[in-house]
Amino acid sequence: ASALAQAAAALKLGEGGASDAGGGEGSQREDEDEEEPCMTPTEFVEAHGLESWVGEALDMLSPSQCAAVINPELNLQSARNPNGVVVSRIKQVAPVDQRIQMFIRVNDLAEGVVDRLSTLTPEQCEAVMETGLKIQKAVNPSGVAMKRITEVLKATQPRHRPVALVSRHASEGPVGSGSYRNQRYSSPGARRGGNRRSYSRGRGREEASSRSSYQQGGVGSSMPSDVQQAMEELGLDPWCGEVLRRLSLWQRQTVIREIGTMRSVRNPSGVVMSRIRATAKTDELLAIFIDINGLDRGTEAKLWELTPEQRAEVMAPGIYVQNVRNPNTAVRSRVSNVEQGRGAMERGPPWRKDGRDDKEGSREEGKKDRFTRRDDRRRPHKRQRTESSSDDGHDDDDDSP
């Protein structure tokens, strides 16, 4: 009886194991079925009338992720943005590091932008893609991406820094915060209505003191150690350190490695900037230019509307706008000059009412002056005294004796 019971138990166990095995195979088959999408990304895009870049993004998903996006029924008849509906599904199954790769691919971003994205945190990358995975209607997607990165960094990093750059954002800070701009307008010369010469001297002293306090270690907390070391060893200006700080790690290391132990240089910041210009792209430099000068959105928009060559010309006089009360006005003046075919800092001739510039007018007036002087030499001295008066009430063209 005991042997019969053991045999029955073994038979029952075998049936249970078989059923469990069958169930395992069945669940495995179900998993395999779930991992396979019902159609290819290309077929999915064509079936729903989506844009081609959506298919590129789907191609970067794993089979199970692709199935999670494609297999559920998709009704896009009343959708205003069908591409956005699919992107929202992609966002549910793909992590941020995978979606940032999609962002790079579908927008064909430049290597400099890719390098800059690699320095961001996952939260910052998410913020960059918040306004859309695909950059629409942009002639220069890399420039737009750099603009997004700059805005994200502005929102996530402290705006006020204890260097001369604080003056660009002082208007946004609380009153009486002791910022550089507040010190400028509360200077004794400004309060008493002093002349511009004494005002500029006081401003120069303030800038010099800010630079000395920076080099003494009063401002190194937010600066990377390699940048801080380079500034101390080479004697760089604070604005140059701010530019270095905004480069990617690879770019920064390349610049510092190239300059080495630079000694006996009259303008070390200028030498470093020449290396930076050779390493970073124009769009990257423009994003830094906008950031360190604290330009407003209107000025920023004008800069991004320029061609890459025009942007480089605007930044040619210097990436940090110094010795001006309003950097936005100074940059807009540069932009206007470049758009009119002049140098960024060149002062064009004022326009006359007749539509000609002063160069054309001065040439014609010069010809008239030559004839006038020739006629004056032929006229008697007494007549010249009469014509030289502008208040005698007589007509200068009257030749009557």
247: which 2 tokens?
């480069």
Q: How far is CA 337 from CA 11, 154, 331, in A?
A: 94, 28, 10
**Residue 227: half-sphere exposure toward Cβ, Cα within 13 Å:** 24
Measured in whole angstroms, the distance separating CA 199 from the mean position of its chain's CA atoms is 33
Task: State the pLDDT at residue 396.
Answer: 43
Say whether 1 sits in a helix, a strand or coil. coil
Helix (H) or strand (E) holding 19: helix 2-35
369: which 2 tokens?
């002056």
Residues facing 273 on adjacent strands: none
Q: How far is CA 284 from CA 112, 306, 318, in A?
A: 7, 14, 15
The stretches in the chain having pLDDT less than 70 are 1-35, 157-222, 261-264, 348-401
Place of tokens 């208007």: 171
Residues facing 207 on adjacent strands: none
Task: State the pLDDT at residue 94.
Answer: 93
Q: Smallest Cα–Cα separation from 117: which of 134, 132, 131, 102?
A: 102
Task: State the pLDDT at residue 150.
Answer: 84
Amino acid at 254: T
